[in-house]
Chain A
């Protein structure tokens, strides 16, 4: 990290700064989405951008994710570098053909003659009391498709550097932002930087157990690590930062070091991101493991609207602490 970090931004501010910098740097960068211009999105992440760049580069679209995602794919193929805003990650279901069958495959099927330098920004995460259709974490759907890159930033620093890298990438990249993290503050240097896509980050070094966590679960894992430290367990928190490409080496080496691993992700655990990450660890570190790899994800149910029930469906600092303590404990 560069030296000058004498300021903090929120996660949302870091996103806005990344977009503004890239739009100033490259006139081909445009934003498409619902309520992105005047409203600046319901989370106010984009507030002010339309004032600087005008309604031709920050474009409010009708409520039609399939339509404006398709426009984004086509615009990317024909020379722009669009950033498509899907307000709730739950709505990516409507964009699946554009993303999985068009954006992901055009470069391959055209023999490299076309490319889709497009970014989709969308959200994930529960506990906002938004009910079952606005609380899912569906990033695994995109991870499953060759040709798409999937980014899961967990800090203001990471989201700015990764979003800028995503905009400059010639491939379709989906950035998932936990809507509960937009107010999270963290150090962000003033000067220019990007973060390479496909490189994990060890958010906290430890010796006894590896906690691999994505997106806002990194913050949960860090909270659990503090609790664990109080009972003498040293937890290492590894943030893959990008799910595809995936930095398998860092995950495996950490698990080899600690002999124990938990994988946390807010998507559904069944057939989800945690399954893939746990599999990578077991394949790479099997003879170094002292315990089975534990997976923690969303419960296999529609996310409830009832706050107490909703909170019970996703990993918390307490539940991560309990699982880690059990893996490290002895009879």
Chain B
């Protein structure tokens, strides 16, 4: 085995030694015990003997160098041997700052620090239990002697909750809806404009035009279809309500494409009727029906939901009087439609029972101000009160 030549420690407190001279050159044969090098301490120059028979090789320190005690400065090789590959520094362990930490010093991994909740103290087991069972620790009162939350407190909360808390993993449509509505609600400054409108004429128009469409297109004309057509016509007069906020400014949208919110098994999708102001009422009905069928069947195509510039959400069929809707950016507004119900209203100074619908417009205040919204609603209310005029 190759024998290392190390800088010797000649005194107890010695940390380094100065190599004064090599007595042999690299490649020389040496015999164990014969002088190999001279080392200077602060007291004397000392001759160091060769530790083995062989050939001096791999000399790494030259005369004049100051070298840490214990460091290998050369090797003595027997025939056929080569110096070992570069080894870890042979400095004393105490000073081996660069060396890898010794793994044996740690007997077990330090437990990961559990996420802290402010306030009361929580036992490690209670914290783990709460996490495993979906218990919110912030809702618990600790029963420990100093108010600590203990496992028994979590167990009591689990028992109080009855069946184990179920966490439903939402489908992709629901997750998308959650993300979009959160983003809209938290970044779009919403305000709302509300109008109660007499829907008697709207009902009448549906009654008048419905049978022909039914006959010719095999589809029933709905209030939503009529509203799509009327909203599109009102929007043509109010381009601001059909616009979008962009980082560069307010973008006017050329087309008037009306999204219709449709409830499906897993959330809501807004299918789009393009150029709704320019197509026949029957075409709107057919498109609306086809889009709805595809959406409920989970067969919505990308084009079905792309390009809306305004959305209508109608909960009238659920007997909702009125509600507010969340805008779908980059659209600037959405119309929430309640049910058409008979209400007592003044007509010509006298109480009368009339079918009334409450329309609520949600507006992005970056694009639409109160006056814009109010003027649009004025025209829309007029259209609902006199659909035939607007459908000309």
Give chain A residues whose Cβ lies under 8 Å from the Cβ of B111: 282-283, 286-287
- In the bound complex, do residue B125 and residue A329 qualify as a contact, i.e. CB atoms below 8 Å apart? no
Please tell me if A289 contacts chain B, counting CB pairs below 8 Å: yes
Contact A331-B143, Cβ < 8 Å, known A284-B108, A290-B150 = yes
Nearest CB in chain B to that of A326: its residue: B145
Smallest beta-carbon distance B150→chain A, Å? 5
Contact A287-B152, Cβ < 8 Å, known A329-B145, A331-B144, A331-B145 = no
Give chain B residues whose Cβ lies under 8 Å from the Cβ of A282: 111
Smallest beta-carbon distance A124→chain B, Å? 25
Q: How far is the CA of A286 from the CA of B125 in the complex (A)?
A: 7
Contact A259-B108, Cβ < 8 Å, known A331-B143, A331-B145 = no
Give chain A residues whose Cβ lies under 8 Å from the Cβ of B147: 331
Total A residues in contact with B, Cβ cutoff 8 Å? 15
Please tell me if A25 contacts chain B, counting CB pairs below 8 Å: no
Q: How far is the CA of A329 from the CA of B150 in the complex (A)?
A: 11
Q: How far is the CA of A100 from the CA of B124 in the complex (A)?
A: 39
- In the bound complex, do residue B143 and residue A330 qualify as a contact, i.e. CB atoms below 8 Å apart? yes
Tell me which of A287, A288, A289, A330 contacts B145 (CB under 8 A). Answer: A330
Please tell me if B271 contacts chain A, counting CB pairs below 8 Å: no
B contacts with A: majority SS = loop
Q: How far is the CA of A256 from the CA of B175 in the complex (A)?
A: 39
- In the bound complex, do residue A330 and residue B124 qualify as a contact, i.e. CB atoms below 8 Å apart? no
Give chain A residues whose Cβ lies under 8 Å from the Cβ of B62: none
Nearest CB in chain A to that of B145: its residue: A331
Per-residue contact bits, chain B 115-148, to A (CB 8 Å; 1 contact, 0 not): 0000000011111100000000000001111110
Please tell me if B187 contacts chain A, counting CB pairs below 8 Å: no
Contact A289-B144, Cβ < 8 Å, known A284-B108, A330-B150, A330-B152 = no
- In the bound complex, do residue A289 and residue B125 qualify as a contact, i.e. CB atoms below 8 Å apart? yes
Please tell me if A101 contacts chain B, counting CB pairs below 8 Å: no
Please tell me if A291 contacts chain B, counting CB pairs below 8 Å: yes
Give chain B residues whose Cβ lies under 8 Å from the Cβ of A259: 123, 125, 151
Q: How far is the CA of A139 from the CA of B71 in the complex (A)?
A: 39
Smallest beta-carbon distance A172→chain B, Å? 21
- Name the interface residues of A40-75: CB closer than 8 Å to any CB of B: none
Please tell me if B107 contacts chain A, counting CB pairs below 8 Å: yes
Tell me which of B108, B124, B150 contacts A287 (CB under 8 A). Answer: B124
Give chain B residues whose Cβ lies under 8 Å from the Cβ of A291: 123, 144, 150
Smallest beta-carbon distance A328→chain B, Å? 10
Q: How far is the CA of A188 from the CA of B114 in the complex (A)?
A: 48
- In the bound complex, do residue A290 and residue B126 qualify as a contact, i.e. CB atoms below 8 Å apart? yes
Contact A330-B107, Cβ < 8 Å, known A259-B125, A290-B126 = no
Smallest beta-carbon distance B293→chain A, Å? 53
Nearest CB in chain B to that of A327: its residue: B145
Most buried by A among B123, B126, B146, B147: B123
Q: How far is the CA of A280 from the CA of B145 in the complex (A)?
A: 25
Per-residue contact bits, chain A 259-296, to B (CB 8 Å; 1 contact, 0 not): 10000000000000000000010111011111100000
Tell me which of A280, A284, A290 contacts B151 (CB under 8 A). Answer: A290
- In the bound complex, do residue A287 and residue B107 qualify as a contact, i.e. CB atoms below 8 Å apart? no
Per-residue contact bits, chain A 316-331, to B (CB 8 Å; 1 contact, 0 not): 0000000000100111
- In the bound complex, do residue B125 and residue A288 qualify as a contact, i.e. CB atoms below 8 Å apart? yes
Q: How far is the CA of A289 from the CA of B124 in the complex (A)?
A: 6
Most buried by B among A282, A287, A289, A326: A287
Smallest beta-carbon distance A161→chain B, Å? 28
Give chain B residues whose Cβ lies under 8 Å from the Cβ of A331: 142-147
- In the bound complex, do residue B151 and residue A283 qualify as a contact, i.e. CB atoms below 8 Å apart? no
Per-residue contact bits, chain A 32-46, to B (CB 8 Å; 1 contact, 0 not): 000000000000000
Smallest beta-carbon distance B121→chain A, Å? 10
Q: How far is the CA of A143 from the CA of B152 in the complex (A)?
A: 37
Smallest beta-carbon distance B145→chain A, Å? 5
Per-residue contact bits, chain B 320-348, to A (CB 8 Å; 1 contact, 0 not): 00000000000000000000000000000
Q: How far is the CA of A282 from the CA of B128 in the complex (A)?
A: 15
Nearest CB in chain B to that of A276: its residue: B107
Nearest CB in chain B to that of A283: its residue: B108
Q: How far is the CA of A259 from the CA of B125 in the complex (A)?
A: 7
Q: How far is the CA of A236 from the CA of B145 in the complex (A)?
A: 22
Smallest beta-carbon distance B142→chain A, Å? 8
Smallest beta-carbon distance A279→chain B, Å? 8
Give chain B residues whose Cβ lies under 8 Å from the Cβ of A283: 107-108, 110-111
Nearest CB in chain A to that of B126: its residue: A290
Tell me which of A284, A289, A326 contacts B123 (CB under 8 A). Answer: A289
Q: How far is the CA of A59 from the CA of B251 in the complex (A)?
A: 107
Smallest beta-carbon distance B107→chain A, Å? 7
Smallest beta-carbon distance A232→chain B, Å? 14
- In the bound complex, do residue B145 and residue A290 qualify as a contact, i.e. CB atoms below 8 Å apart? no
Smallest beta-carbon distance A159→chain B, Å? 29
Nearest CB in chain A to that of B151: its residue: A290
Nearest CB in chain B to that of A252: its residue: B108
Nearest CB in chain B to that of A292: its residue: B123
Give chain A residues whose Cβ lies under 8 Å from the Cβ of B107: 280, 283
Q: How far is the CA of A91 from the CA of B60 in the complex (A)?
A: 52
Give chain B residues whose Cβ lies under 8 Å from the Cβ of A284: 108
Give chain B residues whose Cβ lies under 8 Å from the Cβ of A286: 111, 124
- In the bound complex, do residue A287 and residue B151 qualify as a contact, i.e. CB atoms below 8 Å apart? no
Report which A residues bind B (CB closer than 8 A): 259, 280, 282-284, 286-291, 326, 329-331
Q: List 17 A-B contacts (CB under 8 A).
A: A259-B123, A259-B125, A280-B107, A283-B111, A284-B108, A287-B114, A287-B124, A288-B128, A289-B125, A290-B124, A290-B126, A291-B150, A326-B145, A329-B145, A330-B150, A331-B146, A331-B147
Report which B residues bind A (CB closer than 8 A): 107-108, 110-111, 114, 123-128, 142-147, 150-152
The 9 residue pairs across chains A and B that have the minimum distance between CB atoms: A283-B108, A286-B111, A290-B123, A330-B143, A287-B128, A290-B125, A290-B151, A287-B124, A288-B125
Known A-B contacts: A286-B124, A290-B126, A331-B142. Give 15 more (CB < 8 A). Answer: A259-B123, A259-B151, A282-B111, A286-B111, A287-B114, A287-B124, A287-B127, A287-B128, A288-B128, A289-B125, A290-B123, A290-B124, A290-B125, A331-B144, A331-B147
